[in-house]
Amino acid sequence: MSLRKENSSILPKVMNGCLFFFQEFLKHPLQIGSVIPSSQALIKRVTETAQVQNARTIVELGPGTGCTTKAILENMRKDARLLSIEINPNFFSIINQIQDSRLIAHLGDARKLKQILADHHLQAPEAVISGIPFSTMSDECGSQIIRAIHEVLAPGGRFVAYQLSKKVISLCSPVMGQERVQFEFMNIPPMRVCCWEKGNGNGNGNGANKIRVRQ
Ligand SMILES: C[S@@+](CC[C@H](N)C(=O)[O-])C[C@H]1O[C@@H](n2cnc3c(N)ncnc32)[C@H](O)[C@@H]1O
């Protein structure tokens, strides 16, 4: 198939995906928090920062229409597992159609992360990636999610959150320690990519290490 033909068949799919995402945003603006899915540049930065290629168990919170899910699957190991937790039933049904035996799509709330991991008999994740909008949820709800992530994350594991607002930093840093922030401008809107690494229990007060992330 020629490149022109391939592009002409991909474009309508991308446009349909964006339109569907936008329609769901109009129904649940606070829960979705963004008008269109993440760009390829943002997704690349997020998957690299989370080091998904090294992880055996990966958790994705808020996969939406699956652009991030597919990129994680493309980059992760053959023997790794990806648990994608989505609260919106219409988005969940899209994720649930992805044909990959390494993926577990789960309809539910990120606040129940610990129970969901246990229900699927999964190990502590080395990478947790979140696109859920902390800025539009209550502090209580956001804190519950952060505490759940910190509790389940494997020692040395990474939590990566991509957000427009700084609220995730104020919620997360008291629990996880020093954040590392990059900016991705090739996205609408430009995003902060924040990363925390859980300590190895070697004396660090809040269980988090300072980390270096390639800019
Ligand atoms: C900004 S969209 C991100 C979608 C996709 N990952 C991307 O980057 O394009 C945020 C997603 O988080 C989901 N979400 C919001 N709150 C959630 C929660 N408590 N648990 C699970 N998913 C949640 C929304 O339904 C939505 O799909």
Tell me whether residue 167 is in a domain.
Answer: yes
Tell me whether residue 215 is in a domain.
Answer: no
pLDDT at 15 (0 to 100): 72
In our burial notation (b when 16+ CB lie closer than 10 A, e otherwise), range 154-174 reads beebbbbbbbeeebbbebbbe
Tell me whether residue 14 is in a domain.
Answer: yes
83 lines ligand 1 (CB under 6 A): no
Tell me whether residue 124 is in a domain.
Answer: yes
Strand residues in the chain grouped as ranges (E)? 57-61, 81-86, 103-107, 127-130, 158-163, 180-184, 191-198, 208-209
87 lines ligand 1 (CB under 6 A): yes
CATH number of the domain enclosing 192: 3.40.50.150
Tell me whether residue 131 is in a domain.
Answer: yes
| Rounded mean pLDDT, 39-45 | 98
Tell me whether residue 214 is in a domain.
Answer: no
Question: What is the count of structural domains for the chain?
Answer: 1
Atom of ligand 1 nearest to the CA of 28: 25
Q: Mind listing the pLDDT tens digit for each residue in 97-151? A: 999 999 999 999 999 999 999 999 999 999 999 999 999 999 999 999 999 999 9
Instruction: State the pTM of this model.
Output: 0.90
Tell me whether residue 106 is in a domain.
Answer: yes
For residue 178, what are its two tokens? 């020093």
Boundaries of domain holding 26? 3-209
69 lines ligand 1 (CB under 6 A): no
Atom of ligand 1 nearest to the CA of 109: 20
